[in-house]
Amino acid sequence: MKEYNIAVVGATGAVGNEMVATLEQRKFPVKHLKLLASSRSIGKTITFKGKEVEVEELKEDSFKGIDIGLFSPGGSVSLKFAPIAAASGCVVIDNTSAFRMDPDVPLVVPEVNEHAIADYKKKGIIANPNCSTIQMVVVLKPLHDAAKIKRVVVSTYQAVSGTGKKAIYELEQQILAIYGQKPIVKKVYPHQIAFNCLPHIDSFLENGYTKEEMKMVNETRKIMEDQSIQVTATTVRVPVFCGHSESVNIEFEKALTPEAARKILKKARGVKVVDNPSKNLYPLAINAAGKDDTFVGRIRRDESVAHGLNMWIVADNIRKGAALNAVQIAEALIKKYL
């Protein structure tokens, strides 16, 4: 099997760490692994296949001889370095929002629109969607193929790991402070996150929605390749360390029973149905952590409309919502397109 030179940009972050782990776990054919981050990370090491790999400073000449770059830095870093990497012959799979809505950059969830990877040649960049969008469209696509979706109303309950390592630490410290009767320190979020819910992810826009909410609207339509689907979202940060949960209401053009939906989803790639309320079985964030699948349950009829279903969708936001999806794209890329 041919092996490839891989670079992970933003390697010391939560997603970067998971990208390295996922490459090893899935036995991706890595010839040489280069770990890149800011100058602050020089000297740090990350274990890959039993060996310590030293982190290097990200520079303009970092991509010489690199075949695939998995990017998970800040968006401004991707805006600068992704085109540089692509110009050097490296195919970039970018986890930031920098290129997602660029019409010349494919936005890919392999279970949904793997064929779109073929368009990577336009700019040498493939965009990894937003974590909350990824897990939703994995479930929506097979249902859309069966009964055509008219409208989606989604409310998310998103873990602090979606903000990064500093947010995980902030939640830990706030919990300890509360039990120790010490002052609460807020640096990452504008309000206390411990034992609280914040209906505020990313910045607010003029229309009253946040950027995170509009990502779900616009990315869903692009990935599903259907601009007629109406989507509205409310995204909420909750005091959970890992795993995004979503309450999703779907209105279809024709009837689709809960039983039929379960049957379809049980056959869907990357989906696991956990749906037996009589035994208290439904998707939970703590059970999704570390898992590749997207879990769906609480599938039931929406009795307020003619053709509607409600459901509960959960996935590991760092794994399927970021690192795994990027590696899956890379796997399809080397198998069919590179």
Contact 102, 67 (CB under 8 A): no
Tokens 């616009």 appear where? 218
User: What gap in Å lies between CA 181 and CA 27, rounded to an integer?
Assistant: 47
Integer Cα distance of 115 and 118 in angstroms? 6
Residue that has been written with the tokens 């080397």 in this structure: 334
Region at 195 (left for phi over 0; alpha for psi -120 to 50; beta for the rest): left
Closest by Cα among 285, 284, 291 to 319:
291
Q: How many helices (H) and strands (E) would you count in the chain?
A: 9, 13
- The torsion angles phi and psi of 304, rounded to 5 degrees, stand at -90, -10
Residues annotated catalytic, as ranges? 131, 244
